[in-house]
């Protein structure tokens, strides 16, 4: 009786978790605009034009409701209110050469960014005041934060020697946790499973624990492409492949085309619903450690659209 009760609860919570991650919204950018994508309806809504810059990073201030992004060529960090209908762009800070990576810490109210040719990691307040240089780097491209555990992850990119660095919030970079022998332009952190995800330039999606151990390829596509857009939430990795927006089911290693867009996608940001309540969501996987039951269950409630081969255009 008691067991049945727990199983039902698990079933219910798992359905909620799956359904909510497939019901969410995400933002993506092409070389001129930022779009909102509704995962359930597959509607694409253009939000703003960002004036012809390349835009690789998007992040959200969950407490005040602003989307932040760097305009690499214009050398500035911008923001606009979301989901407000008045999406007037505001300049937060003027930067050095080629700001490409950005991450927002909504809890401590800081914006972090890195400059590809400036070689530096910076932090400022949400309104652009109090700019501080934190560290010197070598061609940094992506920054991600684990706010709960106070870790910064940085991807430095080189044609044959990219690497992932890990640092505490307030001190200089000390640890290289992953050495890669290829060009990598994207990386995301899964705060629930404490894993990092990235795509190498032969199209494989790889993953490692957040201490750099257990590096593995979770999807092998054999199609070479330089992808800059990846994000992770719940059971899924969201990523771009040229102009295609795709969803990878982490457990089943199956992928689905969410959207065939009309132009190349450079950046992706997935809204993490419940980000304000991470403790509640953290508890769910613990209750659902019935792997044998969990797997077929996932199959039954699959709502994924038909599998589409990447080689199809
Ligand atoms: C998150 O929590 C903060 C502080 O509790 C609150 O002000 C804010 O509205 C919440 N944001 C969202 C998106 O729920
Ligand atoms: C929109 O927001 C901007 C910047 O906050 C403000 O200057 C402007 O007056 C607002 N426009 C409207 C129509 O509310
Ligand atoms: C500005 O940054 C410095 C260094 O990080 C910090 O010690 C100080 O408290 C900050 N001041 C404000 C007003 O944010
Ligand atoms: C990465 O490479 C550097 C330099 O070759 C080396 O010092 C470091 O131990 C390596 N780290 C890992 C985690 O492989
Ligand atoms: C990729 O290539 C490897 C080795 O050539 C092969 O084993 C694998 O099946 C290929 N994968 C796909 C998805 O084509
Ligand atoms: C994307 O394009 C492929 C190949 O043309 C097609 O099979 C698929 O249904 C499309 N997917 C969406 C979501 O439009
Ligand atoms: C980016 O997407 C917007 C909105 O759909 C579109 O108007 C614009 O032409 C696209 N940019 C490029 C370079 O295709």
Q: Is 311 part of any domain?
A: no
Residue 171 belongs to domain spanning? 2-300
Each residue's pLDDT tens digit in the chain (313 positions)? 344 444 444 444 443 444 344 678 999 999 999 999 999 999 999 999 997 678 999 999 999 999 999 998 899 999 999 989 999 999 999 999 999 999 999 999 999 999 998 789 999 999 999 999 998 899 999 999 999 999 999 999 998 999 999 999 877 667 999 999 999 999 999 988 999 999 998 889 999 999 999 999 999 877 778 889 999 999 999 999 999 999 999 988 889 999 999 999 999 999 987 654 433 333 333 333 333 233 333 332 222 222 222 222 2
Q: Is the CB of 215 under 6 A from ligand 4?
A: no
Q: Look at ligand 1, atom 6, and give the residue with the nearest C-alpha.
A: 63
Q: Which CATH number goes with the domain that contains 289?
A: 2.120.10.30
How far is the centre of ligand 2, averaged over its atoms, from the C-alpha of 86 (Å)? Answer: 6
pLDDT in tens, 71-92: 988 999 999 999 899 999 999 9
Q: Look at ligand 7, atom 5, and give the residue with the nearest C-alpha.
A: 46
Q: Is 48 part of any domain?
A: yes
Q: Is 313 part of any domain?
A: no
Verdict on whether the full-model pTM lies above 0.85 = no
Q: Look at ligand 6, atom 1, and give the residue with the nearest C-alpha.
A: 260
Give the ligand whose atoms come closest to the C-alpha of residue 83: 1
Q: Is 168 part of any domain?
A: yes
Q: Is 288 part of any domain?
A: yes
Q: Is 10 part of any domain?
A: yes
- Number of domains, the chain: 1
SS (H, E, C) the chain: CHHHHHHHHHHHHHHHHHHHHCCCEEEEECCCEEEEEECCCCCEEEEEECCCCCCCCCEEECCCCEEEEEECCCCEEEEEECCCCCCCCEEEEECCCCEEEEEEECCCCEEEEEECCCCEEEEEECCCCCCEEEEECCCEEEEEEECCCCEEEEEECCCCCEEEEEEECCCCCCEEEEEECCCEEEEEEECCCCEEEEEECCCCEEEEECCCCCCEEEECCCCCCCCCCEEEECCEEEEEECCEEEEEECCCCEEEEEEECCCCCCEEEECCCCHHHHHHHHHHHHHCCCHHHHHHHHHHCCCCCCECCCCCC
Q: Is 218 part of any domain?
A: yes
Give the ligand whose atoms come closest to the C-alpha of residue 271: 1
Q: Is 277 part of any domain?
A: yes
Q: Is the CB of 212 under 6 A from ligand 4?
A: yes
């Amino acid at each position: 009786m008691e067991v049945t009760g727990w199983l039902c609860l698990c079933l219910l919570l798992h359905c909620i978790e799956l359904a909510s991650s497939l019901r969410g919204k995400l933002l993506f950018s092409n070389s001129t605009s930022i779009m909102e994508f509704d995962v359930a309806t597959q509607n694409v809504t253009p939000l703003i034009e960002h004036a012809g810059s390349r835009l690789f990073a998007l992040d959200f201030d969950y407490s005040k409701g602003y989307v932040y992004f760097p305009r690499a060529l214009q050398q500035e960090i911008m923001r606009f209110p979301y989901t407000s209908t008045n999406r007037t762009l505001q300049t937060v800070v003027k930067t050095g050469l080629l700001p490409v990576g950005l991450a927002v810490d909504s809890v401590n109210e800081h914006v972090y960014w890195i400059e590809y040719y400036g070689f530096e990691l910076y932090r400022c307040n949400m309104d652009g005041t109090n700019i501080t240089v934190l560290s010197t780097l070598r061609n940094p491209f992506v920054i991600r934060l684990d706010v709960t555990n106070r870790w910064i992850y940085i991807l430095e990119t080189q044609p044959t020697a990219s690497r992932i660095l890990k640092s505490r919030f307030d001190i200089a970079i000390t640890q290289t946790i992953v050495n890669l022998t290829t060009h990598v332009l994207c990386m995301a952190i899964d705060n629930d499973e404490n894993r990092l995800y990235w795509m190498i330039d032969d199209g494989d999606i790889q993953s490692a624990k957040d201490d750099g151990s257990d590096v593995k390829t979770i999807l092998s596509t054999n199609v070479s492409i330089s992808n800059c857009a990846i994000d992770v939430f719940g059971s899924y990795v969201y990523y771009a492949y040229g102009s295609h927006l795709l969803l990878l089911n982490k457990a089943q290693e199956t992928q689905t085309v969410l959207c065939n867009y009309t132009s190349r996608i450079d950046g992706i940001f997935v809204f993490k619903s419940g980000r304000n309540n991470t403790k509640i969501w953290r508890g769910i996987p613990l209750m659902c450690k019935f792997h044998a039951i969990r797997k077929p269950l996932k199959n039954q409630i699959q709502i994924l659209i038909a599998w589409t081969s990447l080689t199809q255009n």
